[in-house]
Amino acid sequence: MTRLRPRSVATVLALTALPAVALPATAGAAASGSTTIELKGAAASALNAQKVRISAQKPARATASRIVLPVSGGTVAAGATLKHGGSVTFRSTVGGRARSARLTAWQTRIGTREVTVSAKLAGKRVTLFALTAPKRDVSLDAANRTATVDGGRARLTAAGAKALRTRLALRRLPAAPLGAVKVAAKLGPGTNRSTGTGNVPRPTNPTTPTTPTTPTPTAPAVCDGYSTGTVPAAAAPLARPTEGASNVASAPMVWYGRDSWMRYISSGLGANDGIQVSEGATLGAREKYPEGTESFPDPTRGPTLVYSATFAFDAANSWYQAAGSDSKGRLAYTGAVRFLWEAHGIDLTFKNPEIELNGASSRLVFTVTGAACSNLPAKRVDLFKLTVPAPTEAAPTFTYAPLAARITNAGATLFSNMYFESNAWGSIRNLVVTTG
């Protein structure tokens, strides 16, 4: 059993999944997803003040600010029970005597009224955290065996506080709020086998470097469970109709990524970490996420960061066929957006987006290249499904309200199944098509 170097307990409690290239989303695959615990508030302050340290035993992992518990199996029906691999040990020294509390057999239970996280301590199961979340933020899909909780609050329970306080001989440890909550899991049919997971968002001290650089295949010393998945290539571009299609003079748009991904990738503290652009792409201004999210439903709240990019329009490879709500078209662009967090092995470049307007089959395609642990040869990937509203027509100009994007199966594979097919994933905004 390998132990990581003990760390201090710090920051927010959130249960979330890593978005990063790693594992293929094949039918019958093992369970995937992770529970990540980042402590904040009165309870964390009490632990820090009393110099409590934590370590993780594989496949669990610990960093300076979080605990990562991979999903190893479970069930999803009217409720869900998620099993987690690994164990976590809290340590203290009181009166010159070392004490420890080793927590094993971690579980997350999602019920109709609350979510709980428990573990075994000295052979007895203890409910450590109670989580509350609005119903709209809880999703259970028995058919696809997925479970998510996206947005909520957590609290260290009285039982959890007492168990840790007694075991570690602490002077005080309150039952207190612990912060935001996210849960994400996808269970393979009948599986109880753990899979590797990647690193975890740390939305603090964001940086957004803009100096373009070229992806390199240099991987960090440890990819922490990553493996290269098979990401399917996109189908051929939508063919231009022989009649009724027009050339496009311009089609400016702004692409917004999923806010949690943009916040995550902006959290790296390395010299080159963050979001970079090149080849004609331009980063948007720093702003609040304009649509609101599960975590920040009020668009005036949340962190001020760069969430968007624009691209140069490629008229030579574009066309448009006006037909109201049945309008079709292919709008091509050039430019590249690179997402880099070197210490976490993430190096993804999304290049040359293609918007295809085609009713229920509308999609957003990028040419994707991955380096480091995100290893992927350059290929066109059908990343996102688009919901396309009818345009406001004032020929030759056609103006679109935001086109909501949802991740595809290929996109879920690219992100190691840490986002699930049909999860919301940003939007296309300010799209105005001018023919001629």
Is the pLDDT at 418 greater than 60, yes or no?
A: yes
Enclosing domain of residue 363: 248-435
Distance, CA of 403 to CA of 332 (rounded, Å)? 16
Number of other CB atoms surrounding residue 75 within 10 Å: 14
**Percentage with pLDDT > 90 across the chain:** 44
Query: Is the C-alpha dihedral spanning 200, 205, 208, 212 positive or negative?
Result: negative
Structure-token pair, residue 333: 């662009």
Question: Of 161, 186, 211, which one is at a domain's C-terminal end?
Answer: 186
Range from 19-28, 321-330, 413-422 carrying the lowest mean pLDDT: 19-28
Distance, CA of 293 to CA of 278 (rounded, Å)? 28
Residue 284 pLDDT: 96
User: Quick one: which of 370, 372, 23, 62 has its CA closest to 200?
Assistant: 62
Look at residue 201 and tell me if it is in a domain: no
Number of other CB atoms surrounding residue 96 within 10 Å: 5
* pLDDT tens digits, one per residue of 195-232: 333 333 333 333 334 444 444 444 443 443 333 457 89
Note whether 285 and 373 are same-domain residues.
yes
Question: Of 151, 170, 186, which one is at a domain's C-terminal end?
Answer: 186
Q: Which residue has the tokens 């469970």?
A: 225
The count of domains in the chain is 2
Strand runs (DSSP E) across 268-311, as ranges?
274-278, 282-283, 308-310
Look at residue 412 and tell me if it is in a domain: yes
* pLDDT tens digits, one per residue of 54-96: 888 888 887 656 777 788 888 888 788 899 989 999 999 998 8
Question: Of 135, 157, 186, which one is at a domain's C-terminal end?
Answer: 186
